[in-house]
Amino acid sequence: MIDVRIAMLGSGFVADFYMQGLANVNGQKVVLNYSRTLKRAREFGARWGIEESTTDLEVALLRKADLYIIALPNEEHLPVSLLLSQARRNQVCTKPLARNRAEARQMFQAARRSRKLHGYAETEVFSPCVVKARRMIEQGGIGRVLWVRSRESHSGPHSPHFWDIEKTGGGALNDLACHCIEAARYFFGKQDRVVEVMAWGANLVHRKKTKGEDNALLVLKFSSGGIGHCELSWTTRGGLDLRNEIHGSQGSIFTDVTRGTPITAFTTSAAGYIVEKADIDFGWTRPLPEEAFAYGYQAEMRHFVECVAGGKTPRETYADGYAVSSILDAGYESMRRKKWVRVKY
């Protein structure tokens, strides 16, 4: 018996990762795929064994699925989410929630008024190693959290639209810092608010591709006095680099899912898919098995399915996505003004 029927809105990179995560989640079935082009919708449906594909969002809404997952480009998040809220549908949206604070606020308020489930699909805080680190913090293993340093970097976006900051809302800071910000909020505890930020960003390499920053630094000042340090780059070669350091008054914790993999290989010929954003597939490589599990896609999809089935509120909601967008907006203001900026929630 299928408990939760899912409509996957999108057929690109992140939608594929969501499907990989859902493959190991019981009690659900993806019954519909929506895409903006029929060819992609049909290809996605055939690849994942989805019975129905459509390019008509109204048709998707009439399907009355139990959960709609927004895996669409950033510029589509607001209009699609507002339609879902108007139709009173349970919804989950990929990161970042929106292109800016104003759009995120509209999404959050509309979803809240609908009185239906809304989940923020931030994989970082569902990654098994990050969840384990948080549990160690809760047990008092490192004392009071003082400093969190996170790095998210790769050689650049995989799809052309990601380079267009009008469509996405920003460059590397907008694309990658959402992970690092939510990791820091998770490690410090959400009751410890980010109150002030300082940011730097510049286009060092990809000047012909984007008007946005391809490298950025973001410093978060928490109400407790603690510091979050975020490093973001679209110019790092060798595949996705995803790390966290949590330093406390009595110890430290380190996570690294992409460089500390259980496999190291040297091949003289192409060896196939290695890891997200890998630039080569031969020579010395660090293949990452079960990426959807390691990054947190499987855990977050299981969590949202269980919340729908059990009528529970997710631990990541649009309130969190709105908080992250508010922090990102302050970061861009700091980048322009070259000074510390208070976060407006």
CATH of the domain at 26: 3.40.50.720
- Tell me the CA distances in angstroms from 82 to 79, 113, 143, 299, one per residue in order: 5, 11, 42, 26
287 and 167: one domain? yes
pLDDT block averages, 10 residues each, the chain of length 345: 89 96 96 93 95 92 92 97 97 98 98 98 97 98 98 92 95 98 98 98 96 98 98 94 97 94 90 86 88 95 97 98 98 98 97
- Sequence-ordered list of residues with C-beta below 8 angstroms from that of 48, at least 6 positions apart, any chain: 19, 30, 33
Number of domains in the chain: 2
Q: pLDDT value at position 238?
A: 87
The torsion of the CA quartet 156, 159, 163, 164, rounded to 10 degrees, works out to: -170
39 and 136: one domain? no
- Tell me the CA distances in angstroms from 198 to 31, 42, 47, 97, 329, one per residue in order: 44, 45, 44, 21, 11
Q: How far apart are CA 161 and CA 182, in angstroms?
A: 24
Q: pLDDT value at position 279?
A: 86
16 and 159: one domain? no
The alpha carbon dihedral of 275, 280, 282, 284 has a sign of negative
Chain segment 61-72, per-residue pLDDT in tens: 888 899 999 999
Three-state DSSP at 278 gives coil
307 and 244: one domain? no
19 and 84: one domain? yes
DSSP state for residue 343 in the 8-state scheme: P
CATH number at residue 171: 3.30.360.10
132 and 47: one domain? no
84 and 137: one domain? no
Q: pLDDT value at position 1?
A: 55
Can you list the positions of beta strands (E) in 161-226?
Answer: 194-202, 215-222
Model pTM score: 0.95
Q: Is there a cis peptide before residue 96, judged by omega within 30 degrees of 0?
A: yes
106 and 30: one domain? yes
Chain segment 90-127, per-residue pLDDT in tens: 999 999 999 999 999 999 999 999 999 999 999 999 99
332 and 185: one domain? yes
Give yes or no for a contact between 31 and 307, defined as CB atoms under 8 angstroms apart.
no
Question: Which single residue is written with the structure tokens 């490298």?
Answer: 215
Domain of 42, in residue numbers:
4-124+297-317
199 and 149: one domain? yes
| Burial class (CB within 10 angstroms; exposed 0-12, middle 13-18, buried 19+) of 282 | middle
